[in-house]
Amino acid sequence: EFRRVLFRSVAEDARTVAWPSEPFRVVANLPFADAAEICRALLRDATRPLLSADLIVEWDFAAKRARLWPSTAQSVVWGAWYELSVVRRIEPRAFVPVPSVAAGVLRARRRERPLVRPADAPRYERFVRQGFRGDRARERDAHAWAHAWRSRPGADVPFRR
């Protein structure tokens, strides 16, 4: 059976674009120098209906965001709503002009069941960032941080996966 696929190409600045209000996917080749800022703009709102993003970024950036340990505060926050993975390495010679470093495809797939309620996103991010100031914080992955969030003193309604 043939499925009709709706596709829309957008040539706008991803840092300021108005994202769709209906579920959507992103496939993009990001400028290496702007990848972090663009990913923050795309992934920051846990209630945004982003289903998945396949992003060509600098290899080290992709590996840093997808690794479980040592984690970063930003990856832990995004990991509450998205599964982050590197799905491919792209050698520099695949590009014109040839960059000095390899690229990778960073995939962010929305979790079927988030680790933290999207409505709690701002408070959860503050919790994670404050926790990252402590010793050994980078040894926790997104699951461990979400568990700590749900187990904290004064936690409101427990959230079950």
For 62-119, write each residue's pLDDT tens digit: 999 998 777 889 999 999 999 999 999 999 999 999 999 999 999 999 999 999 999 9
User: At residue 8, does pLDDT exceed 80?
Assistant: no
Global pTM? Answer: 0.84
Sheet with 103-110, strands from edge to edge, namely 24-29, 50-58, 103-110, 82-90
| Helix pair angle (59-66, 35-43), 10° resolution | 40
| Type and span of the H or E element at 146 | helix 142-151
Q: Are 82 and 142 a contacting pair, CB within 8 Å?
A: no
Rounded mean pLDDT, 46-62: 97
Instruction: State what percent of residues in the chain have pLDDT above 90.
Output: 64
Q: How high is the pLDDT of residue 132?
A: 83
Q: How high is the pLDDT of residue 5?
A: 67
The pair phi, psi for residue 156, each rounded to 5°, is: -70, -115
User: At residue 4, does pLDDT exceed 50?
Assistant: yes
